[in-house]
């Protein structure tokens, strides 16, 4: 049986589109990226020249029946309006995180996609990479026993990021929603749904001044949380603590903490913002961690892997792994932490999701055959 590639178009051709296009155009035979749209014509022109795609209007994308997936790479505040129009036009959609800024808007999009029998996928897709899949294998093999608790800590400097990436100072771009969601999604992919959260959020020093040369001294406002702490109670019984702080320092490389504690060992995960990285384990009776051999695919940066996996899912008639239910649940976890901070009361989650099968082991790209990795998501 010959599988026809899935035609893809982009909406939003900003900086992150380079990473997506670089992957989608060169790594996956299942994808045929044909066009892109951005409100800024210069951004589209740049992608036409770099990647050989066609410049299209938004209306042309909506009207083109041959385009089966539209990848939404607009800013978070624009996600709801763009995705709703795409779904209503009958398009399958994969969106950059987060699905929407407001939880009720995400619920509406999930409902529309279900009613129209459309795929709606969402980043982050890093949990499909070698590091997180190796970590899931460690847990599901029983190597570290029953996972009783987990911890996620990350720091950034909002003085830097809010100037370099203005959306991180606006609603939906706070430290939890912009970066913490990578940790949340990685934990969900391994441990399953969360049933209840408590949390504290802060918006420290909202009045800022810009120190970039082109607009030195101009004031700007932080409009979202830049500190988030939460306790997560998973349906499995695991208890987790998360701390996302944008009032600290930013290092290169970043050094987030993502650790799972089990009855027979402790596992130290790699940076969930990336696809690869070392997964280390200390087993009961030992004192020093050892690195796990990675036998899963996607050790390099593969932004857009979730798009390719969704395309294979469409062709094979199955549910995609970076699906709307899991993305919605991750978004709800973050919103319930904020709600708990505002009310001083633990918040129960209303949503859940089904854990999808892991990526099969053994399809590493470190072989003679470059097509091996894509074979992993074709199953």
Cis peptide before 124 (omega within 30 of 0): yes
- pLDDT tops 70 at residue 166: yes
* Mean pLDDT within 198-207: 88
* Mean pLDDT within 19-30: 96
- pLDDT tops 80 at residue 165: no
- pLDDT tops 90 at residue 18: yes
**pLDDT on residue 298:** 93
pLDDT band at 368 (very low <50, low <70, confident <90, very high): very low
Domain layout of the chain by residue ranges: 6-126+302-377, 127-291
Residue 200: strand pairing partners: 229
Write the pLDDT tens digit of every residue in 265-304.
999 999 999 999 999 999 999 999 999 998 899 999 999 9
**pLDDT on residue 212:** 63
Which token pair is 325?
């239910």
- pLDDT tops 80 at residue 30: yes
Which superfamily is assigned to 127-291 in CATH? Dihydrodipicolinate Reductase; domain 2 (3.30.360.10)
Say what percent of the chain tops pLDDT 70.
96
- d(CA 364, CA 136) in angstroms, rounded, equals 16
Angle between helices 16-26 and 305-316 (to 10 degrees): 50
**pLDDT on residue 370:** 57
**Which pTM does this prediction carry?**
0.95
- d(CA 225, CA 203) in angstroms, rounded, equals 5
User: What average pLDDT does the structure give for the chain?
Assistant: 93
Hey, what's the torsion of the CAs at 194, 161, 72, 330, to 10 degrees?
A: 0
* Mean pLDDT within 201-229: 78
Could you tell me which CATH class the domain 6-126+302-377 is placed in? Answer: alpha beta
């Amino acid at each position: 049986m010959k599988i026809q590639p899935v035609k893809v178009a982009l909406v939003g051709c900003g900086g992150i589109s380079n990473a997506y296009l670089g992957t989608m155009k060169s790594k996956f035979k299942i994808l045929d990226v044909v066009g892109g749209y951005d409100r800024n014509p210069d951004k589209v022109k740049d992608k036409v020249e770099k990647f050989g795609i066609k410049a299209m209007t938004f209306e042309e994308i909506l009207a083109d029946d041959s385009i089966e997936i539209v990848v939404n790479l607009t800013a978070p505040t624009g996600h709801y309006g763009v995705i709703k129009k795409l779904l209503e036009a009958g398009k399958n959609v994969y969106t950059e995180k987060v699905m929407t800024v407001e939880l009720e808007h995400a619920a509406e999009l999930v409902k529309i996609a279900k009613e129209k029998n459309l795929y709606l996928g969402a980043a982050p897709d890093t949990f499909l990479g070698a590091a997180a899949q190796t970590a899931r294998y460690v847990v599901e093999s029983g190597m570290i026993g029953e996972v009783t608790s987990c911890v996620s800590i990350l720091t950034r400097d909002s003085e830097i990021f809010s100037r370099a990436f203005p959306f991180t100072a606006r609603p939906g771009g706070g430290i939890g929603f912009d970066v913490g969601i990578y940790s949340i999604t990685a934990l969900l992919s391994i441990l399953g749904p969360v049933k209840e959260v408590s949390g504290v959020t802060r918006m420290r020093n909202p009045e800022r001044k810009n120190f970039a040369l082109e607009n030195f001294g101009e004031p700007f406002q932080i409009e979202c949380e830049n500190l988030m702490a939460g306790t997560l109670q998973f349906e499995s019984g695991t208890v987790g603590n998360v701390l996302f702080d944008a009032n600290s320092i930013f290092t290169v490389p970043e050094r987030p903490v993502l650790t799972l504690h089990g009855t027979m060992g402790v596992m130290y995960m790699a940076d969930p913002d990336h696809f690869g990285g070392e997964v280390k384990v200390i087993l009961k009776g030992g004192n020093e961690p050892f690195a796990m051999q990675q036998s899963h695919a996607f050790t390099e940066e593969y932004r857009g892997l979730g798009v390719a996996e969704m395309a294979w899912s469409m062709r094979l008639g199955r549910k995609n792994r970076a699906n709307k239910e899991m993305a919605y649940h991750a978004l709800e976890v973050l919103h319930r932490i904020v709600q708990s901070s505002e009310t001083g009361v633990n918040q129960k989650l209303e949503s859940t999701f089904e854990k999808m099968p892991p990526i099969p082991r053994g399809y590493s790209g470190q072989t003679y055959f470059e097509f091996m990795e894509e074979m992993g998501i074709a199953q």
